[in-house]
Amino acid sequence: MNPSSDTEFDYLFKMLLIGDSGVGKSSLLLSFTSHNAIEDLSPTIGVDFKVKYVTVEGKKLKLAIWDTAGQERFRTLTSSYYRGAQGIIMVYDVTRRETFTNLSDVWAKEIDMHSTNQDCIKMLVGNKVDKESERVVTKKEGIEFAREYGCLFIECSAKTRVNVEQCFEELVLKILDTPSLIAEGSTSIKRNIFKQKPQADASSSACC
């Protein structure tokens, strides 16, 4: 996945990060969009948003990535951000079992209730693999969950950046492999064409 600084793009894809508070959603996004070391972040308030331009298989893509708060008090607000997403990344912490069990108890249900896109690609991400000695959820359990719920699956570390690029790349490749999602990516561009403003490679604006 080659970064592209050009603000021209072929497709616009909307992606969403969901999962329990503290699993590392904001850290993953920061790790993907910036080259700074990951510091201890504060819990997200409501929703945050970053843009990244990448070139994949010769296509210039604008990725609009929405980072939601995992805390339950923001659930009503964050649920409205599922609308129109082409990719949803469900994150859990491999060192905290409850963040894994909440995938089926909470997050899969949230997707069923609020996602408007039948073909939306889901990606399951087991984060914090750098803390291997504290791991309580095995890779096999992750693979089985992903198979049952029809998700892609990867384990990664926002801290060491292991598999962070691959996570977004696999999701983007699968979106590009799905004709209805490509069509939506083009439609969004047509809808937004008069609103596009020049932006940096990765930009951020809080939004709640």
Ligand X SMILES: Nc1nc2c(ncn2[C@@H]2O[C@H](COP(=O)(O)OP(=O)(O)OP(=O)(O)O)[C@@H](O)[C@H]2O)c(=O)[nH]1
Residues that bind Mg ion (CB under 5 A): 25-26, 44
Rounded to whole angstroms, what are the CA distances from 168 to 6, 39, 53, 56, 197? 19, 21, 12, 11, 24
Give least dist CB 97 to ligand X, A: 16
- Per DSSP, the chain holds a count of helices (H) and strands (E) of 7, 8
Minimum CB distance to ligand X smaller for 162 or for 182: 162
Residue 74's CB is within 10 A of a number of other CB atoms, namely 18
Q: How many CA atoms lie within 13 A of 147 on its CB side?
A: 6
Give least dist CB 38 to ligand X, A: 6
- Out of Mg ion, ligand X, none, what residue 46 binds, judged by CB under 5 to 8 A for its kind, is none
Give least dist CB 113 to ligand X, A: 19
Minimum CB distance to Mg ion smaller for 110 or for 141: 110
In terms of Cβ atoms closer than 10 Å to its own Cβ (0-12, 13-18, 19+), residue 37 is exposed
Minimum CB distance to Mg ion smaller for 126 or for 185: 126
Binding region for ligand X (CB under 6 A) = 21-27, 38, 40-41, 43-44, 69-71, 127-128, 130-131, 157-159
Give least dist CB 129 to ligand X, A: 7
Task: Name the nearest CA neighbour of 53 among 203, 195, 205.
Answer: 203
Minimum CB distance to Mg ion smaller for 19 or for 87: 19
